[in-house]
Each structure stands twice: as C-alpha cells, then as structure tokens.
Amino acid sequence: MSGIEDHLLQEGYFYFVVSHRHRSELIEEYPLLLQQRAVEGLIVVDTALAEAVDVPSVAVSGHRDVPGVTNIVLNHSRAACLALQHLADFGHRKMAFIKGQAFSSDTEVRWEAVRDAAKKIGIEIKEDLTGQLEGESSSPLLGYQVTQKLLACGEQFTALFTFNDISAIGAIHALREAGRRVPEDVSVVGFDDIQSAAFQNPALTTVRQPLREMGVIAAEILLRRITAPAKTPHPKEIMVEPELIVRASTARISKPA
C-alpha cells in the first residue's frame, strides 16, 4: 500500500481506499461504487475479481485471468524452491508446512509451488505435518495455534516453512513453549520479510516478497493505462522475483528427528 500511495501522490493523483475483509458481497459492490464516484482506474490487492470492470484495472496477487486486468504476481515457483532447497542443503528432510487462509489469493498458487518444489527436491509432504491458518486476524496467534496442532500430532519434524512472517513468529513461540529450540531443534522459514523479521529472536530467515516494489509497479502500470489511447494493448501479467534472506532461524540439522 505504501508503494501504491507514494507513487500516486508523486504523480498528483487522489485515491480512495476501501477494505472488504474478503466478504464476497463487498468485493462485488465496491468496484461498482467506486466507478460511480468516477474513478479513472482500480488497483485491487489480494482481491479475487470475478469479472471485468469498465476502467483500467491492476491486481496485486490476483491470479485470475480477467479481461482488462493486469496481474502483478510473485514468482511463487522460485520462492518455494529457494526456501525448500535452503532447508534441504542444511540436511532437513522431515519438514512441516503452514498454508495460508482459504480466502487468501496466494494460498493455492503458493501451495502448488511448494508441492512441485518438494517433489523436485525429494521432500515428502505429509498430511499430518501440514496445517492451515484460520481466521482473518493478522496476529501471530494463528501461527501459534497451527503449530500447536502440528506438534500434537506426534510426527517429528526438523524444519517448518510458514505462509508468512507473522505466522512464523507465532510458530516459534509455540515451538519454544513445547521445549523445541529454534534453530537447534527446528529451523523456521517465513515469507514476506516484514520490517520486524530481522529483529526477531532469532532473526527470521524468510523469502522476501518485494511488496513495496509490487505496489509501485501496480501504480505505474495503472497510470500508464489511464493515459494511453483507447484500445492500447496492455500486459496481462508482470512477474516479480523473490529473494531468500538467510538469518538465524535456520541451521544445519544437528541430529536425526
């Protein structure tokens, strides 16, 4: 959002911000409402647009092929390979995973990428060691609760790959509460590289998603489309690349699980 807002302000554009909380009726209503306010374009973030709108539109993490919409997406295949190969290089083979909430636009595409990467590297994904975040809260509590369930199943694991950094923070708390040291007993990898990731204890290894860059690109593309002549071709998809940021929450396996 900061990338979007900064670029729009720099270019002299006024903007509205609305939040739908993933409620389907609001996702349907808000584009119509904004168009009634005579907006010149739309940027939607983590929002599954079901149909085209009458103004130029850009989706960040939309993942749907909707006429008239340019999608700004992360290379999830590369992201999954970076994380799992890093853990595999440290000797980890028994891994647990935390998927995102069902309503998140990134959940399924990222999980498919994780499954593909695991198959290529030779990592078995076990159902008992796969949890999913539930609820709309952005609190570490969600990751804490899922990790408690993973620990309760009794299946041993030496590494945990989480859906985002917030859930990784909660996961580390649950692991410590259960007497598991991070990274000596369990290595943890997050996703996003939020500002506080480097200041956790231990500092969080994570897949950096260039969120600010994605916001700037979205705003640039939208303004370009707004000012272009009618029927000018526009890109359907723009892919950005992730980066693995290795910190202190991952380490070489010390003993078999």
Closest alpha carbon to 255 in 124, 91, 72: 91
Q: Is the pLDDT score of 71 beyond 70?
A: yes
- What confidence score (pLDDT) does residue 21 get? 82
What is the reported pLDDT for 256?
Answer: 52
d(CA 157, CA 146): 14
Longest CA span, the chain: 63
pLDDT in tens, 6-46: 999 999 999 999 998 888 888 889 998 999 999 999 999 98
Q: Per-residue pLDDT averaged across 59-66, rounded?
A: 88
pTM to 2 decimal places: 0.92
Average pLDDT, the chain: 94
The CATH 3.40.50.2300 portion of the chain extends over 2-73+210-241, 76-209
Percent of the chain with pLDDT over 70: 99
Mean pLDDT for the stretch of residues 69-87: 97
The per-residue pLDDT for range 94-149, each reduced to its tens digit, is 999 999 999 998 999 999 999 999 999 999 999 999 999 999 888 999 999 999 99
Query: Does the pLDDT at position 184 exceed 90?
Result: yes
The stretch 249-254 carries a mean pLDDT of: 94
Percentage of residues of the chain with pLDDT beyond 90: 82
* 159 Cβ contact list (under 8 Å, min separation 6): 87, 90, 92, 94, 95, 96, 186, 187, 188, 189, 250
Q: How far from each other are the two terminal CA atoms of the chain, in whole angstroms?
A: 42
Mean pLDDT value of segment 174-191: 98
In this structure, is the dihedral angle defined by the CA atoms of residues 161, 200, 106 and 240, taken in order, positive or negative?
A: negative
Q: Over range 70-82, report the average pLDDT.
A: 97
The rounded distance, in Å, linking the Cα atoms of 79 and 116 is 11
Using CA atoms, how far residue 188 sits from 2, 160, 167, 256, 257, in Å, is 28, 5, 11, 17, 15
Strand order in the sheet with 237-240: 42-45, 57-60, 69-74, 237-240
Q: What pLDDT, on a 0 to 100 scale, did the predictor assign at position 255? A: 60
The listed CATH number (3.30.750.24, 3.40.50.2300, 3.40.50.970, 1.10.600.10) that belongs to domain 2-73+210-241: 3.40.50.2300
pLDDT band at 257 (very low <50, low <70, confident <90, very high): very low
CATH of domain 76-209: 3.40.50.2300
